Amino acid sequence: MSELRDECGVAAIYHLPSDQVSPLCEGFGADQASQLIPRMLLDIQNRGQLSAGITSFDPTRDQLIDTHKEIGTVSEVFRLSHRRAAQELMQEYAGRAAIGHVRYATCGLDDRSYAQPFERHHLQRRKWFSFAFNGQLANFRELRERLLSDNDHHLARETDTEIIMHEISREVSGDREPQLIELMHNISQRFDGAYSLVLLNSRGDMLVARDPLGIKPLCYAKEGPLFAAASESVALLNLGFQAENIHSLEPGCAVTISNGEFRLERFASSGRRAHCFFEWIYFANVASTLDQQSVYLSRTALGVELAQMEKKSGQVTIDSDTIVVPVPDTSKAAADSMAFELGVPSREGLIRNRYSGRTFIEGGSSRRNKAKAKYTPLPEVLAGKRIFLVEDSIVRSTTMKALLGRIREIGQVKEIHVRVACPPIIAPCFYGIDMSTVDELFAPGFLKGGNLTQEVQQEMADALGADSLQYLPVPAIARAIGYDREDLCQACITGEYPTEFGQRLFKIALEQSGQSDTGQRTYEPLPVTGSAR
């Protein structure tokens, strides 16, 4: 799963006007609540390691809202390894309100200009704003063409972040002065896709909104005068909010703060839910709870599903030489649960090198070589063993092939049986996950539009270098997460997309399959420098 990346995470903090200072701001005060943003971003660093940034609001400085963003991890961008430098930086960007962002780009430039938040300066305070978002607009191409259709507009970047910035700007152009909830309602009518969005303007007004389908997660908490929001609940819990005060923002709803007044409002109707199931399977921090469902318990339930499948198939001999080995780190809960149900040990036979670099940015042989360096097999644990290797998913197979080779070479195992806590990925994602074409996926070339039979899974195992391979069936996902299938976005494992433009792009992706090796993404009509969120 190191081949698969979500595209970013967002955070927001606001100390509302009050005679009391929130206990969470003790030591620096309400007017420096922005100091909490780096701490929050560290907890959602799993959602993006390419860049990080902050925009803060302070009515007493010339730069009413001011943005700091750079390429690098949260620690690098906010200089957290150097106490004095970090303190000086946060003093410069002190404010009672702030938004933050961590980014991973699916392709394109490692360029500061693509980092978020995006700030738009303007002479009028209501038109001077900064925002950040997590997700992707499936109708990006159509929105872009519409903006450029009159030959009087220009877009500097190939990114839907810039599209959103211009759509927001349209709503406040001229003499129009909509309330934030009205602004969000209007732009949502033009958006098809996934987005969790945070916005801050130079009046000190804040907007925190989640798309009508709730595809991307967004959590919030309010205790006394302090409000905070983040892509995942763990960022709020570790900040010090009580668990009972942490909630998932309902799809189609927004928190607005204007003139110091906090309001929770609906900006769009929400006839159904389409929560991204991969949040529970892989992306989210295992300590998070999203939409009332624990990530840890969901992954534990996946392990039970794997064990039940194994008992039913009887494919592998289970004896004193059999162990379960997770691929670190996110498959550990499922692996431990599977091992418990089977009555065999769960052993960490693979040690992850956390400082090996971001292999998902690399391509070709470089990517494969870094994948080999990412995990160290332990022969003391693996030698002579029959192992169930538990993985979250297999997307492109680059890492899995390299990993299996190292396990055989160094680990000296007897047998390797790969068990995947997810069905085969058969379709691209157009809502913010780094897989946008059919040809880059591992499974479609074997399935060829047919069913997942035992014979097909064995062909896959042979191609990977495993003795056997088994995926979970699609119904197991909803059971493990605790949601009805209709309330989840499972497009990448079913080919059924929850939005019109998602389905359109899948049709294009199928038509383009096997016709090009340019690496161009489905929603890019022409070669471009890349998209970033």
The residues annotated as belonging to the active site are 8
User: What is the length of the chain?
Assistant: 533
H/E run at residue 509: helix 500-512
Centre a 10 Å sphere on the Cβ of residue 52 and count the other Cβ atoms it contains: 30
- Determine the Cα–Cα distance for residues 483 and 445; give it in Å rounded to an integer: 30
- Determine the Cα–Cα distance for residues 113 and 104; give it in Å rounded to an integer: 13
Q: Cα 412 vs. chain centroid, distance in angstroms? A: 35
- Determine the Cα–Cα distance for residues 405 and 372; give it in Å rounded to an integer: 9
Residues 6+ apart with CB under 8 A from 13: 33, 34, 36, 37, 40, 97, 98, 99, 226, 227, 228
Q: How far apart are the first and last CA of the chain?
A: 20
- The two beta strands, 261-266 and 253-258, are antiparallel
- Determine the Cα–Cα distance for residues 64 and 69; give it in Å rounded to an integer: 17
What is the C-alpha R_g of the chain? Answer: 23
Half-sphere exposure of 104 (CA within 13 A, CB side): 25
Three-state SS letters, 141-200: HHHHHHHHCCCCCCCCCCCHHHHHHHHHHHHCCCCCCCCHHHHHHHHHCCCCEEEEEEEE
